[in-house]
Amino acid sequence: MAANPDLFRIALKLATGAGKTTVIAMLMVWQALNAARSPSSTNFVKGFLIVAPGITIRDRLRVFKPSEPDNYHSS
């Protein structure tokens, strides 16, 4: 935190199958909707960075892409 005290960080430790991807998706949706609703507010972000290890995890994260057929945005 000393390197960038203004950077807000969230860490999750959940068991396999506990819904980590869904939790991340819902946090992103909540932030994005609030940012759209209050565009002048600095409390909500407009961009996201997800760092995922390996190709398998990267492929699972395709549900976040609106262009993918089985995305979380249209569910």
- Position 37 scores a pLDDT of 92
Q: Per-residue pLDDT tens, the chain, 75 aa: give them.
A: 577 777 777 776 778 888 887 888 888 888 888 999 998 998 888 788 877 677 777 777 788 788 888 787 765
Number of helices (H), then strands (E), belonging to the chain: the values are: 2, 0
Structure tokens at 10: 């969230």
- Position 70 scores a pLDDT of 79
Question: In whole angstroms, what is the distance from residue 73 CA to residue 63 CA?
Answer: 8
Kindly list the domain boundaries of the chain, sorted by start residue: 1-75
State pTM to two decimals. 0.53
SS3 of 60, please?
helix
Q: What share of the chain is helix, strand, coil (3-state, %, to 5)?
A: 40, 0, 60
